[in-house]
């Protein structure tokens, strides 16, 4: 029996929800697995940092060009490719025998996620009417938020009963279901064949992000004055400066630098970056502290993360309402005060 067009849209949204959960689980679950991986793969602190960072690095560098690729080649096609990349790299990560292979698999996972996230949001306007769209966006956002509490609990259970690779194997059935559902029910979007891709901006931004990240990670091992730190940091700053010059002159820039002329946008971006630095550092260190210093198992470590997750969910759900009540500046200030007190 064939599904009606309206039903197909909501079934396709269910596929996107599954995809969103798979991507959302990744970061929280990996942090719980780091102590076991350090022992099994003989990974030092620098390698552990790369396990986490390379995913985010590729994700950040790839999201903007991913949107352009969807516009040019069709969002359904790009989403299917992204799901295949995410599934294959999850399998490679689960059975990686060395730190180098695992880091490469994590980079591929980040590429898959970078292609998935903007494409998921871009297909919603083509699937739903203006009246249905808020409900569809809310459903997808709710699935992303659910990954925060479910991820640590699921990861803790898996790590207590199986080996660390199991936290990546759970992606496989989710990705297969999502791939089949997208192939069956998601309509293809019109292609913009004339859309140009800013290859120069993409290369320069990737070089800058990679060099700066490498230098910052090596600081912990080599110190500020070592050539292995200063070289990448200086190269990253130079690439970032060239990126700004390039983007000012590019016909179809990767990033609209005029946005940074708006003080509110610039301040908001800087503050959001600071928060992300803080939360990533906390999520990297806490599971290792719980297990190595306090003697907790993986599930105990995940339960100890739940107050942090609960606070994040409470803040995200109340931020808009609080901002309307006391103003965005006071709301942001309150958030940073709470963050500072919690870290102290």
**Residue 108 pLDDT class (50, 70, 90 cuts):** very high
User: pLDDT by residue (tens digit) across 154-204?
Assistant: 888 888 888 888 888 888 888 888 888 878 777 676 666 655 667 788 788
Please give the full DSSP string across 1-32, using - where no structure is assigned. -PPPHHHHHHHHHHHHHHHHHHHHHHHHHHHH
For the whole model, what pTM was predicted?
0.74
User: pLDDT by residue (tens digit) across 263-281?
Assistant: 888 888 888 888 877 877 7
Say yes or no: 202 and 331 in one domain. no
Output the average pLDDT for the chain.
Answer: 80
Say yes or no: 206 and 290 in one domain. no
Rg (CA), the chain: 21
Residue 155 domain boundaries:
5-197+252-343
pLDDT for position 104: 93
Return the structure tokens found at 331. Answer: 């709301």
pLDDT for position 3: 40
User: Residue 4: is its pLDDT beyond 60?
Assistant: no
Say yes or no: 184 and 243 in one domain. no
Say yes or no: 259 and 166 in one domain. yes
Say yes or no: 170 and 315 in one domain. yes
CA angle 64, 309, 282 (to 5 degrees): 75
Sign of CA dihedral 130, 135, 136, 142: positive
User: Residue 1: is its pLDDT beyond 60?
Assistant: no
Say yes or no: 238 and 297 in one domain. no
pLDDT for position 109: 92
Say yes or no: 90 and 210 in one domain. no
Quote the percentage of the chain above a pLDDT of 90: 8
Which among 316, 308, 274, 270 is positioned nearest to 289, based on CA atoms? 308
> Given 251, 277, 294, which residue is the final one in a domain?
251
**Residue 91 pLDDT class (50, 70, 90 cuts):** very high
User: Residue 342: is its pLDDT beyond 70?
Assistant: yes
Say yes or no: 256 and 133 in one domain. yes
User: Residue 301: is its pLDDT beyond 90?
Assistant: no
Answer for the pair 299, 160: CB distance below 8 angstroms, yes or no. yes
pLDDT for position 5: 44
Q: How far apart are CA 156 and CA 300, in angstroms?
A: 7
Say yes or no: 119 and 162 in one domain. yes
> Given 206, 222, 251, which residue is the final one in a domain?
251
Answer for the pair 182, 83: CB distance below 8 angstroms, yes or no. yes
Instruction: Tell me which of 26-30, 99-103, 311-315, 331-335 is least confident.
Output: 26-30
Residue 308's CATH number: 1.20.1250.20
pLDDT for position 85: 93
User: Residues 82-105: what's their mean pLDDT?
Assistant: 92
The H or E element containing residue 153 is: helix 133-161
Helix axes 45-73, 75-94, angle to 10 degrees: 160
Structurally, the chain folds into a number of domains equal to 2
Query: How far does the chain reach from its first CA to its final CA, in angstroms?
Result: 60
CA angle 20, 22, 28 (to 5 degrees): 105
Q: State whether residue 77 is helix, strand or coil.
A: helix
User: Residue 236: is its pLDDT beyond 60?
Assistant: yes
Say yes or no: 119 and 209 in one domain. no
User: Residue 254: is its pLDDT beyond 80?
Assistant: no
Q: How far apart are CA 105 and CA 95, in angstroms?
A: 10
pLDDT for position 101: 92
> Given 213, 236, 251, which residue is the final one in a domain?
251
pLDDT for position 27: 65
Say yes or no: 71 and 209 in one domain. no
User: Residue 92: is its pLDDT beyond 80?
Assistant: yes
Q: How far apart are CA 264 and CA 268, in angstroms?
A: 6
Say yes or no: 261 and 310 in one domain. yes
User: Residues 88-117: what's their mean pLDDT?
Assistant: 91
164 phi and psi angles, rounded to 5 deg: -60, -25
Answer for the pair 221, 51: CB distance below 8 angstroms, yes or no. no
Return the structure tokens found at 300. Answer: 């105990």
User: Residue 242: is its pLDDT beyond 90?
Assistant: yes
Answer for the pair 147, 28: CB distance below 8 angstroms, yes or no. yes
């Amino acid at each position: 029996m064939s599904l009606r067009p309206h039903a197909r849209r909501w079934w396709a949204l269910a596929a996107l929800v599954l995809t969103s959960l798979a991507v959302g689980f990744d970061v929280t679950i990996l942090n719980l697995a780091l102590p076991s991986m350090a022992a099994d793969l003989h990974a030092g602190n620098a390698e552990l940092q790369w396990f986490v960072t390379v995913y985010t690095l590729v994700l950040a560098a790839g999201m903007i060009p991913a949107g352009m690729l969807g516009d040019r080649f069709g969002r359904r096609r790009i989403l299917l490719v992204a799901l295949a990349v995410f599934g294959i790299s999850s399998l490679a990560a689960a059975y990686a025998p060395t730190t180098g292979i695992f880091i490469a698999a994590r980079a591929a996972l980040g590429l898959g996620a970078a292609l998935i996230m903007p494409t998921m949001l871009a297909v919603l306007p083509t699937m739903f009417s203006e009246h249905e769209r808020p409900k569809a966006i809310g459903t997808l956002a709710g699935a992303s938020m659910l990954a925060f509490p479910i991820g640590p609990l699921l990861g803790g259970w898996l790590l207590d009963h199986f080996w660390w690779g199991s936290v990546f194997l759970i992606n496989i059935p989710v990705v297969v279901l999502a791939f089949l559902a997208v192939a069956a029910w998601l309509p293809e979007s019109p292609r913009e064949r004339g859309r140009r891709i800013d290859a120069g901006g993409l290369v320069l931004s990737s070089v800058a992000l990679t060099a700066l990240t490498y230098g910052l990670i090596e600081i912990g091992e080599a110190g500020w004055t070592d050539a292995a730190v200063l070289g990448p940091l200086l190269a990253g700053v130079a690439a970032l400066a060239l990126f700004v010059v390039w983007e000012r002159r590019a016909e179809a820039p990767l990033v609209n630098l005029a946005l940074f002329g708006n003080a509110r946008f610039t301040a908001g971006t800087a503050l959001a970056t600071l928060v992300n630095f803080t939360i990533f550092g906390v999520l990297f260190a806490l599971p290792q502290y719980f297990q190595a210093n306090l003697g907790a198992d993986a599930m105990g470590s995940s339960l100890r993360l739940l107050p942090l997750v609960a606070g994040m969910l409470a803040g995200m759900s109340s931020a808009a309402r609080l901002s309307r009540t006391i103003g965005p500046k006071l709301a942001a200030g309150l958030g940073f005060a709470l963050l500072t007190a919690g870290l102290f």
